Amino acid sequence: MARKRRKKRKRDSERIILRTGEALVEAEPSWSAAEPEVVIGELDGPVGHAVATLLGDQIKGHSRVFAILNCDVQVRPVTLMVSKVTVNNTKYTNILMGTVQAAIANGVLDAVRGGDIPEDKVNDLGIIVSVWLDPSVVEEKIDFKILFETHRAATAKAIHKAMNHEPGIDWLLKNQDKITHCFHQMALDGTV
């Protein structure tokens, strides 16, 4: 799916030390939920150090891999995926390291094409994506197109929010009392 390119902004050459963002995108099936958390920053700073450390310090059940379009086609900025769920099932691994990995790679490129990540910085930045893939994908009949699109959109959205400091503090302070965490609300309702 081709995205429109945008014009360069003044911030394109500014140093990006460390930015954070998160997003939630889901379709109708509950297994489709994508909830990435991202950290973005210069490779010669704390994010680059974290990328190198995480890649070199693999942990069983939480492998760290680069986001790729396909084998032998890594995206820029370098993007490291880390699973939020302990991976101990071959089917789950294949979905995570297939559909979701490709979706994240495409979401990163969408963020570059959309102007959230400056093109002149793609070789200088690193991204760490903490990935949520619902464990029920191993038991449900999955529509892989839906799964791909939710993870792609969520990745681009999380990057957009990180690069634009969203939500801003003014919005957060104004809306703090209007927002209840969904799982906290479920606990209050006695449905957890």
Name the token pair of 175. Answer: 């809306």
Q: What type of residue sits at position 152? A: R
161 — pLDDT class (breaks 50, 70, 90) = very high
**Average pLDDT value over all residues in the chain:** 91
pTM over the 0.75 mark: yes
Strands, DSSP E only, in the chain?
19-22, 37-42, 64-66, 68-70, 73-74, 78-83, 125-131
The values of phi and psi at residue 78, to 5°, are: -55, 130
DSSP 40: E
CATH of 13-189, one of 3.40.605.10, 3.40.50.1980, 1.10.1740.10, 3.30.230.60: 3.30.230.60
pLDDT digit string (tens) for 8-24?
A: 554 556 899 999 999 99
Q: What is the pLDDT of residues 83-132, one digit of tens each?
A: 999 888 999 999 999 999 999 999 999 999 999 999 999 999 999 999 99
Are 9 and 147 within 8 A, CB to CB?
no
Supply the pLDDT for residue 140.
Answer: 92
Instruction: Output Rg (C-alpha) for the chain, integer angstroms.
Output: 17
Query: What does the domain layout of the chain look like in residue ranges?
Result: 13-189
Confidence of residue 68 (pLDDT cuts 50, 70, 90): very high
Look at residue 172 in the predicted model and tell me its pLDDT: 94
